[in-house]
Structure 1
Amino acid sequence: MTNKVTVLGSLNVDTTLRIKRMPQPGETLMTENKSSAAGGKGANQAVAAARAGAQTSFIGKVGKDSAGQFMVESLNDDQINTDGIAVDETVGTGSASILLDEEGQNSILVYGGSNKRVSKQEVDAAAEQIKHADFVIAQFETPQEAALEAFKMAKENGVVTILNPAPAAQIDPALLQVTDLIVPNETESASLTGIEITDDASMVASAKAFEKMGVKNLIITVGSKGAFYSTATEHDFVPAFKVKAVDTTAAGDTFIGALSSQLKTDLSNIATALVFAQRASSITVQRLGAMPSIPTVAEIKAASK
């Protein structure tokens, strides 16, 4: 059974600048390499879902420019339904500048552009993609109002909603009320609950805090350590696969997209889906770039042997 996944989110052209180390304030550094590729949290998650075997649709916005055409074509290359991508006549396509050091750590500067103009209008136009999905995914590089509209529509049609609260931001409480599964990293989780992630007890406390906000299911990704999950029936911590990271860009996005491709709508297989997602992101961090580094289902299965 192939999962149908609809992603509402951002489309950015990523420019990666490779440097020895991060610059100090006021310091000028030479870059060792410069490359551009398709990216954006939403686009990365959609590509990860599609490459991991899900039937994927996208809702978003690009500018009337060559970057926008490039982004739509990039998604089409992965057989993603792009009918839900609108064109903004006045604002350019989103972009991101990524500083990447020798340790594989990154700092990212994002220009929202047309991503910031995604509205209820785009969501309503893509109603069919939402109603017929198994999962609808949203993040915070597009406005929360659009995510709220999409999640409400999803819930009315029995579709499971997954929220990736990144970049960290204040969340509209109404959005949490229509979120089935929230997937923050440890920093985002701490900023939303006020509970610092230090051990199992703090993760369990975080799950209870999210439940009070209206979200019954939680996955917290903890970088190279692994991921914690909590549902109504179980909770556990699953260690990450040990690999040498060269570029952590899109690791979290790969995790969420790959997870959605395997997860059952009742979340009964969350533990095995989570291991599959971790395997996918462990491949991503061993390669350069955002979208180009995301593995296919064949690569994930081969690495699992």
Structure 2
Amino acid sequence: MIVVVGSLNMDMTVRTGRAPGPGETLLGKSFMLSPGGKGGNQAVAAARLGGEVTMIGCVGQDAFGREMLEVMRGEHIDTRHIAELAEQSTGVASIVVEEDGENRIIVVPGANLVLSAEDIAGMEPVISEAEVLVLQLEMDLNMVEHAAEIAHRHGVPVILNPAPARELGAGLLSLVTILTPNETEAGILSGITVDSVDSAREAAEILLQKGVQHVIMTLGPKGALIVNKNGAVHVPGFPVQPVDTVAAGDSFNGALAVQLAKGRTLEEAVVFANAVGALAVGKAGAVASLPYLEEVERFLEESVQSHGKQ
């Protein structure tokens, strides 16, 4: 079982040629309302890839919350531990996607921030039974650290996706089995600029010194870099034409969790997760872009065949 403790947001996505500057108004090309949130995206990604997923989080007792729960249940995710709060609204994310696929996101957490360290302590029986615990940073940081402590105490591997980017103390990092930053997040966590595979490795080694066991840094179209005490391995990405990058990192983390729960090696898991991320950037939206297992297997098979013909 994969347990995801994380955010549940309704995404409001506007597509436009470019993002507006200060004081500027532009006409957009399209608008889409869709369930998301880093926790929700990662849970759905894992479920679509064959994982048995339990979600822990909070939504409001509003239309967005009801739709979020309906979507989760439709994906066969265990929603018994998603609280519905009368006094808080469901989290929302305002997303602007530019023509080249780049995005700018503002998140209003709402009910997501209500889940506390005391609440997560009551989830210890659930977390202790997990094969993998997946965490992100759109929630209360004390709660995130407490969830990691519970998992660590029970020998459950912890995947922490350190997004949105923020500085983290060694106390939390020392509880993390696998840290999955992108280049920006790695730069903030390590204190150095990450703009190449070499600087990515340098940043990852700093994070290892802070107690993380494995760093898997996502490098966009360049793939991912695995760094641990055994050294570094660069796993190339898959060339695709991006539509938007919303949920690309979430799809990667969900895929990684599924593969680790199946006992795959880190390198095997990252090859699979790179393929999932590539497929996600080829479609618009968050949950709508997350691929199913059959799509990923077909994509990997076609990539092998294509490589063999070259």
**Same fold judged by TM-score > 0.5?**
yes
8 Å CA contact retained: 1:120, 1:146: yes
2:109 counterpart of 1:112: yes
The one of 122, 131, 134 equivalent to 1:134 is 131
Instruction: Tell me the CA shift for residue 118 of structure 1.
Output: 1.3
2:23 counterpart of 1:26: yes
8 Å CA contact retained: 1:134, 1:265: no
8 Å CA contact retained: 1:7, 1:136: yes
User: Structure 1: which amino acid aligns with 2:109?
Assistant: G
Describe how 1:21-170 pairs up with structure 2 within 5 A: 21-170=18-167
Describe how 1:242-261 pairs up with structure 2 within 5 A: 242-261=239-258
2:177 counterpart of 1:180: yes
**How many residues align structurally?**
301
Describe how 1:203-222 pairs up with structure 2 within 5 A: 203-222=200-219
User: Structure 1: which amino acid aligns with 2:156?
Assistant: V
Instruction: Tell me the CA shift for residue 265 of structure 1.
Output: 8.2
The one of 273, 286, 290 equivalent to 1:290 is 286
8 Å CA contact retained: 2:132, 2:261: no
1:264/1:32 Cα in 2 relative to 1: closer, same or farther (>3 Å)? closer
CA distance in structure 1 between the partners assigned to 2:70 and 2:146 by the alignment: 27
8 Å CA contact retained: 1:263, 1:269: yes
8 Å CA contact retained: 2:57, 2:82: yes
CA distance in structure 1 between the partners assigned to 2:138 and 2:198 by the alignment: 31
CA distance in structure 1 between the partners assigned to 2:273 and 2:198 by the alignment: 24
1:99/1:199 Cα in 2 relative to 1: closer, same or farther (>3 Å)? closer
CA deviations 1:245-264 (Å, max 9, x no partner) are 01110000000001110125
CA deviations 1:141-190 (Å, max 9, x no partner) are 01111111111111111100011110011213321121111110000000
8 Å CA contact retained: 1:84, 1:125: no
**What SS does the aligned partner of 2:55 have?**
strand
8 Å CA contact retained: 1:144, 1:172: no
8 Å CA contact retained: 2:2, 2:261: no
CA distance in structure 2 between the partners assigned to 1:13 and 1:104 by the alignment: 20
CA-atom RMSD in angstroms? 1.4
2:290 counterpart of 1:280: no
CA distance in structure 1 between the partners assigned to 2:144 and 2:28 by the alignment: 37
User: Structure 2: which amino acid aligns with 1:125?
Assistant: G
8 Å CA contact retained: 1:160, 1:265: no
8 Å CA contact retained: 1:9, 1:138: yes
CA distance in structure 2 between the partners assigned to 1:132 and 1:35 by the alignment: 37
